[in-house]
Amino acid sequence: MRYVLLTLMAACSLLGQPYDVVLVNGRAMDPETNLDAVRDIAINGNRIAAISASPLRGRVEIDATGMVVAPGFIDLHQHSQTTEAYRYKAMDGVTTALELEVGVSAVREWYAARDGKALINFGATSGHIPALKAVMHEAYDGLVPRDAGVNRAPTEAEGRAILDSVRQGLDPGALCIGIGLIYTPKVPREQILELFELAAQRHVPVYVHVRSGGPVEPGGIAALQEVFADVLLSGAQLHVAHITTTGRQETRTLLRMIEEARNRGFDITTEAYPYDAAATDIASEALAEGWQTRAGIDYGDLQWAATGERLTADTFARYRMQGGIVVMHMIPDEMARLAVADPTVMIASDGIIENGKGHPRAAGSYARVLGRYVREQQALSLMDALRKMSLLPAQRLAIYSKGRLQVGADADITVFDPKRVIDRATYDNPGQYSEGILYVLVGGVFVVRDGNLVDGVAPGRGIHR
């Protein structure tokens, strides 16, 4: 099929017919083949049809002189899956945004709700947390539980129902299994092991926010050791969410642990967002009694996303009753830089934004890596950065048609100005588009053109396993 398609594409160009779109004279960069050269890139329909050092003709021709033409960025960790959020993602160069950590329940319905309506590609895991919330009749409707789901352990029967629900979510093609151990501390460890075993049977990764973090016992090291043991017993592939949130001062140690596990043949990967603050629901178990000691921070290090205000004991108590997103200034800047610079650590935003309020990582992660860490600090090469944003996430999910700038690949393409690209979202004003991302195509359709969002298009497709 692929061969026939490629032959047809070649035949079209031989007949001298123009391609649908040609990106002319850009610096084409492909992190799989290490192509880094000036090329014309031709698109027919939703595929890349030709990549050529000599001129190609298109019905639409875009002058990409001086710009980088890269595979569209794939964000493995995007909680907000809304029309608003997809606009921020597109302006940050993201062509595929996936909710893999918390994930979703009623997977078929979730995909159907976005089908034909999304600006960029979307997808999700079959989530343990939403399955647990449904089975245990969790009263709180935030992202993670705070009532029944954390106040008691699921019974054996509930545990079986949760596992069944997660299994059923895989049938319509959820990308893997999402688990958030920190948010469900009373779930019996055997039930967690069963989720790993299910993932191994179905040959999908588990995507995990581990049980604890930081240097205070039981911290990040013990948390990694727990999931490593589940991998050892089950044979599952493991992806560890946001290594700097979990590692903080010990990020270097956690990265070494993952590297050593990988050297011993285990399929374990991780990711980071390029910021020195975390964010979560203030009502969640992450901020249960004793959080100051565990996180090594105090009220003033917490910032209420809705207003931008720093918290006090009084406002903390009030907002914890209410629930909502809080930014936690707790990651040493040096550790954020270490993870961003590591060629094996994927970039993933952990994006949460609603009505322009949330964490700047939702809108700025990718431009921030390219502008701040590649151009200004030279902490990593441009090719390594692109690999961490496109090829590595595609490989993690065994998606072979994305994350590559190659003939036959999906035409999800990001074109940016390497001299200007930069994030604009801040902790005080997270709802600001990145700059310097000039053209973004999803399946061959422009969603960003001349640096502006294109209205009235919805080329995003559901990404299934």
Interface residues with Zn ion (CB under 5 A) are 209, 241
Q: Which residues, 6+ apart, have CB-to-CB distance to 435 below 8 Å? A: 367, 420, 421, 422, 424, 451
Query: Minimum CB separation from Zn ion for residue 285, in Å?
Result: 12
Distance (Å, rounded) from C-alpha 280 to C-alpha 167? 27
**Helix residue ranges, H only, 58-155:** 83-91, 107-114, 128-135, 148-151
Number of Cβ within a 10 Å radius of residue 5: 15
Query: Minimum CB separation from Zn ion for residue 241, in Å?
Result: 5
Query: Minimum CB separation from Zn ion for residue 79, in Å?
Result: 9
Number of Cβ within a 10 Å radius of residue 142: 17
Query: Minimum CB separation from Zn ion for residue 20, in Å?
Result: 40
In the Cβ-directed half-sphere of 9, how many Cα atoms lie within 13 Å?
A: 22
Q: Which is nearer to Zn ion, 209 or 359 (CB)?
A: 209
Q: Which is nearer to Zn ion, 50 or 179 (CB)?
A: 179
Query: Minimum CB separation from Zn ion for residue 78, in Å?
Result: 12
Q: Which is nearer to Zn ion, 71 or 123 (CB)?
A: 123
Q: Are 405 and 48 in contact (CB under 8 A)?
A: yes
Q: Which is nearer to Zn ion, 241 or 386 (CB)?
A: 241
The position carrying tokens 């914890």 is 320
Q: Which is nearer to Zn ion, 241 or 437 (CB)?
A: 241
Query: Minimum CB separation from Zn ion for residue 242, in Å?
Result: 6
Q: Which residue is nearest to Zn ion (CB)?
A: 209
Distance (Å, rounded) from C-alpha 153 to C-alpha 447? 45
Q: Which is nearer to Zn ion, 204 or 241 (CB)?
A: 241
In degrees and rounded to multiples of 5, residue 25 shows phi and psi of 65, 25
Q: Which is nearer to Zn ion, 68 or 241 (CB)?
A: 241
Distance (Å, rounded) from C-alpha 117 to C-alpha 125? 20
Query: Minimum CB separation from Zn ion for residue 22, in Å?
Result: 41
Distance (Å, rounded) from C-alpha 394 to C-alpha 339? 19
Q: Are 77 and 242 in contact (CB under 8 A)?
A: yes
